[in-house]
Amino acid sequence: MNKDIPNILLVNPWIHDFAAYDFWAKPVGILTLASILRDSGYEVTYIDCLDRFHPKAPGSNSKIRYGRGPFLKTQIPKPEGFEKIPRKFSRYGIKPEWFMEDLASIKRPDLILVTSLMTYWYPGVQETIGLIKKIFPDTPVVLGGIYASLCYDHAVNNSGADVVMPGLFEKKIIDLAEKYTGFSAKKSCGSKENNDFNIPAFDLQRKITYVPLITSRGCPFSCSYCASGFLNPKHILRPPESVVSEIIYWHKKYNVKDFIFYDDALLIDSGIHAIPILKKIIDSNIKIRFHTPNAIHIRQISKELAQIMFKAGFKTLRLGLETAAFEDRTKIDNKVTADEFKRSVNFLKGAGFKKNQIGAYLLAGLPGQTMKSIENSIAAVKDSGITPILAYYSPIPHTAMWKEAVACSDYDLESDPVFTNNAVFPCFGQAFSWKAISHLKNLARG
């Protein structure tokens, strides 16, 4: 590395939770910042505390189907308030001593950026920053990401970061870097002006087993349980040519075969967005696979689009159904009717998709939700010939449902984001018991 050029360290922190698995989870935001910084003339170093392919990790953490796989985990004490939860609590990711060794082996950074994801994962952020400070006590640490945005005050007071930056800051990152390093970055790359979509630096990983794609930002819906509108207020589409170019680049240079759509609204305006992208992929004759773990809007699925998706190589489809109680769903969203659900499922099955490829997310643990309504939703999804997938509700600040969640929960959600963990079903109320949860899981699997 050039000693005269500032080195910026970017870190993806640990997860502390009852369960975690690499279901196509990558820190796209911080890898996007790495790309911008690198293109602007900075040296960048990246350390991933969730790295499944760390040289010291056991061989069992190798690639499995579609690039997914288990994180290394180490049991740790439960957070205060969870003592009675009958589940083990763990740190997911590399061992702390490996992290310390990796930190000690790099050139001293001039600035350190740490990202954050789920609000209730912040204890992993705390631990990460605490160890960083032991090695580089004089280097400023800036925290960004979802936790930093949704729980800004809590992050300022508890994360250990010197600076907390809420919201998207691709356009702010060069100013931030210049402020802390004094280095005059290249201005020609455009990242500081109006470039809303920069390609993340996935090549900084030890191994690329899949590539997440962000082809649009934001969502035109305002679902009461979702914070997408707060985190991304505008719905912006990326040019189809840019998306296709990125896919072909990762496939041809790194032999990536699995691509994961991270969009909140992939199929909105499909005539000028998803369809042109997928048709270009089909015309390119490359053999790749697409997956949609973030769910797609059911109403947007036409017969033509279902056929195009099948031909383009979609292998994992997740539908954002949330509930089959269509007569009373306006409380949570207005995304789909019963007829639209049945029609879209028939289009997908008619296009060639199998039952095990199509899953419908069903929210469980909503404020005021009854066991019967969840059971009925599971039955309705099964009757349609696809797979029900339970998605446990996590209360999120800045959503329309937040106040109701706070009012009905036995946990003090406003005092500590750790209590919003969906693994403890914080808003299930009188319907909750571990036996009831086991019953629902078995019902969905059966």
Contact 427, 366 (CB under 8 A): yes
Handedness of CA 339, 220, 381, 290 (dihedral sign): positive
What is the per-residue pLDDT across 19-48, written as a single tens digit (0 to 9) for each?
Answer: 999 999 999 999 999 999 999 999 999 999
Nearest CA to 301 among 353, 369, 246? 353
What is the per-residue pLDDT across 199-231, written as a single tens digit (0 to 9) for each?
Answer: 999 999 999 999 999 999 999 988 999 999 999
When computed from its CA atoms, the radius of gyration of the chain, rounded to whole angstroms, is 22
In the chain, the largest separation of any two C-alpha atoms, in whole Å, equals 65
Beta bridge partners of 216: 237
What is the per-residue pLDDT across 281-307, written as a single tens digit (0 to 9) for each?
Answer: 999 999 999 999 999 999 999 999 999
**How high is the pLDDT of residue 189?**
45
Residue of higher predicted confidence among 262 and 196? 262
Q: Strands across the sheet with 163-164, in order?
A: 43-48, 7-12, 111-114, 141-143, 163-164
**How high is the pLDDT of residue 191?**
38
Contact 279, 311 (CB under 8 A): no
**How high is the pLDDT of residue 60?**
53
The helix/strand/coil state of 193 is coil
Nearest CA to 117 among 30, 221, 51? 30
- Domain spanning 210-445 has what CATH number? 3.20.20.70
Per-position DSSP letters for 117-164, written without gaps between them: -SGGGHHHHHHHHHHHHHH-TTS-EEE-SHHHHHTHHHHHHHS--SEE
Strands (E), 231-286: 236-237, 258-261
Nearest CA to 270 among 298, 232, 228, 311? 298
Per-position DSSP letters for 60-83, written without gaps between them: GGS--GGG-BPPPEEE-PPPTT-T
How far from 340 is each of 196, 321, 326, 363, CA to CA, in Å? 33, 11, 11, 19
What is the per-residue pLDDT across 52-70, written as a single tens digit (0 to 9) for each?
Answer: 999 998 875 555 789 999 9
Nearest CA to 298 among 257, 347, 336, 259? 336
Neighbours of 129 (CB within 10 A): 20
Domain 7-181 grouped into CATH 3.40.50.720: no
Lowest mean pLDDT among 161-165, 193-197, 291-295, 389-393: 193-197
Structure tokens given for 2 = 């050039």
The pLDDT > 90 percentage for the chain reads 87
Per-position DSSP letters for 19-49, written without gaps between them: ---BSS---HHHHHHHHHHHHTT-EEEEEET
Going from N- to C-terminal start, the domains of the chain cover 7-181, 210-445
Mean per-residue pLDDT of the chain: 93
Burial pattern 304-328, b for ≥16 Cβ within 10 A else e, equals ebbebbbebbbbbbbbbbbbbbbee
How far apart (Å, rounded) are the C-alpha atoms in residues 67 and 71? 12
**How high is the pLDDT of residue 64?**
72
**How high is the pLDDT of residue 195?**
41
How far from 14 is each of 92, 120, 133, 442, CA to CA, in Å? 6, 12, 15, 30
**How high is the pLDDT of residue 62?**
52
**How high is the pLDDT of residue 193?**
35
